[in-house]
Structure 1
Amino acid sequence: MTPNIWGSGSAWGLYFLFYNTIKAWIQQGNTTTPLGPTMNMVAAAEAGILTLVMTNPVWVVKTRLCLQYSNDKVPASLRYSGMMDALHKIYRVEGVRGLYKGFVPGMFGVSHGAVQFMVYEEMKSNYTQYYGLPLDSKLSTLEYLSFAASSKLAAAVLTYPYQVIRARLQDQHHNYRGTMHCIAETWRYEGGMGFYKGLTPYLLHVLPNICLVLLIYEKFTNNG
């Protein structure tokens, strides 16, 4: 639970910090200036890359701890008693590269946030324009929740495969030679559906989460 809390909390905090800073810079401080799809994606992608650099080690630890089994026959150096023990052992045995396993597919995963926030911002922008409202208008809770859920669904369908590849690369029970080898083996043994394993429970888990996160974000940052 601890790495998950650290990972999610720090990731969202850093992401919104970077995202809002980049947006403000592009808009030159004028929040009523629409960015458009391209610049929304650029801002979200840049924020995602910066966040990934800061949080990837935490996600490696989370994955390793979640994939430990009681009857594991792995060496003691690959068994972890907690978050700090995992960080220490991974760094000692595998070095910095061990803490950044899954970073390459994680970079592809930046597209998830970019797509999600582009769709989210464009839905808000088009909605306010359609009703003749200012771009920074405060909307209703239901409207924010609808935009959040729709943008998450769009991003998940388009980018979920990277999460499967990333998790498999970070799993100490697999011995993939790299991202392309993992992709090839998944396709070879499981076909296209292998890249969408766990999508339904994933959506059931993340949809309420992202709706709540974006609702809180809007309520605290949008002063109408």
Structure 2
Amino acid sequence: MQQKGPIRIIEWEDLDKKKFYSLGVFMTLTTRATVYPASLIRTRLQVQKGKALYSGTFDAFCKILRSEGVWGLYRGFMINTFTLISGQAYITTYELVRKYVSQYTPSNTVKSLVAGGAASLVAQTITVPIDVVSQQLMMQGQGEHLTRFKVKPKMMLAATKRKPTFGQTRDITVQIFAADGFRGFYRGYVASLLTYIPNSALWWPFYHFYAEQLSLLAPSACPHLILQALAGPMAAATASTITNPMDVVRARVQVIYALNCLDSAGQI
């Protein structure tokens, strides 16, 4: 365990691996289940032309809930849960690369920068194919006319009965591979790397920086965990501000082009 001023930096060898992985999966799954409807609505809003389907976020939520039910807000969620693997791969890569880089430099900033970038590379390699399939499933229902990939009628019938099934996932996966081959599952991969590698590489150094500064400002006024909790959003805001332009490009490439929603004039 490294002590940097008032901040204790927990290294890989200090972790209880059993608790680390089990609690990590549970927390990630809970978070994804909470934010998934918002992600689905965002995808449909990004893909629609003007206000063809929905006038805004609240309108989309009400219409999906009314016409497709609660399951309509969770289309593609089952396959999306496989991104839990990428989450565990991310943090494992981060900790192992930190340990490796520490052999060459004691600088926490350098270790965080290199490890954060490497972790994001591994995570995005796993995540992008899953996202491509789940985004296609998100577009089924009211948004199915916006995408060339559609589930078979019998699968749609199962969905209306609100029975979760991997049949839709298999159907979409086969169609993507038939149309675009293996490359079809990596639409937007380069754009994702150019977005998330810098974002992750910047987040960790800024996180440690803000945590240290907050501890120096209020060394005894706040518990250690609260200061670290505050440092997380601050680091995320800083890193996202820097990488946001590329994130806009990534969203356009991964969502629009992966869903093939360009009209004949090439306009969205």
| TM-score normalised by L of structure 2 | 0.60
Of residues 35, 58, 63 in structure 1, which corresponds to 2:15?
Answer: 35
How far did 1:156 drift?
1.6
Paired residue for 1:163, among 119, 131, 134?
131
* Cα shift readout 1:8-27 (whole Å, capped 9, x = no counterpart): xxxxxxxxxxxxxxxxxxxx
Radius of gyration: which is bigger? Answer: 2
Show the counterpart of 2:40. 60
| Post-superposition offset of 1:143 | 2.6
Structure 2 residue 29 is the aligned partner of structure 1 residue 49: yes
Cα RMSD for the two superposed structures: 2.9
Q: How many Å separate the matches in 1 of 2:19 and 2:125?
A: 22
Residues 195 and 166 from structure 1, CA distance in 2 versus in 1: closer, same or farther, beyond 3 angstroms?
A: same
Unaligned 5+ runs, structure 1: 1-29, 73-78
- Displacement of 1:126 after TM fit? 4.3
Q: Is the 8 A contact 1:148 1:210 kept in 2?
A: yes
| TM alignment of 1:144-163, pairs within 5 A | 144-163=112-131
Q: CA deviation at 1:150?
A: 0.7
Residue 108, structure 1, aligned to residue 82, structure 2:
yes
Q: Which residue does 1:81 correspond to in 2?
A: 55
Deviating more after overlay: 115-124 vs 31-40: 31-40
Partner of 1:139: 108
Counterpart of 2:233 in structure 1 is none
Q: Please report how far the alpha carbon of residue 100 of structure 1 lies from its aligned counterpart in structure 2 after TM superposition.
A: 0.8
- Paired AA for residue 193 in structure 2: L
| Matched residue, 2:178 | 188
Specify the code of the residue in structure 2 equivalent to 1:116. Y
Q: Is 1:90 aligned with 2:56?
A: no
**What is the one-letter code of the residue matched to 1:214?**
W
- Range with greater deviation from structure 2 (150-159 or 57-66): 150-159
Q: Tell me, yes or no, if the aligned pair for 1:165 and 1:195 is still in contact at 8 Å.
A: yes
Count of residues in correspondence between the two structures: 184
What does the per-residue CA deviation read over 1:136-166, in whole Å, with 9 as the maximum and x for residues that have no partner? xx712x3312111111111222332101101
Q: 1:210 to 1:71 in 2, by over 3 A?
A: same
1:179 Cα deviation after fit: 1.0
Contact 1:44 1:117 in 2 (8 A): no
SS in 2 for 1:80: coil
The residue that corresponds to 1:27 in the other structure is: none
CA distance in 2, matches of 1:209, 1:63: 21
Residue 102 of structure 1 contacts residue 166 of structure 1 at CA under 8 Å; is this kept in 2? Answer: yes
Query: How far does residue 34 in structure 1 lie from its aligned partner after superposition?
Result: 2.1
Change (3 A) 1:113 1:221: farther
TM-superposed CA distance for 1:40, in Å, is 4.4
Structure 1 residues 41 and 115 mapped into 2: Cα distance closer, same or farther (>3 Å)?
Answer: farther
- The Cα offsets for residues 54-103 of structure 1, whole Å up to 9 and x where unpaired, read as 1001100110000102496xxxxxx1111111111111111110111121
The 8 Å contact of residues 109 and 162 in structure 1, kept in 2 or not, is answered as yes
| Larger displacement relative to structure 2 (105-114 or 171-180) | 171-180
Give TM-score scaled by structure 1 length.
Answer: 0.71
For residues 59 and 205 of structure 2, the distance between their equivalents in structure 1, rounded to whole angstroms, comes to 35
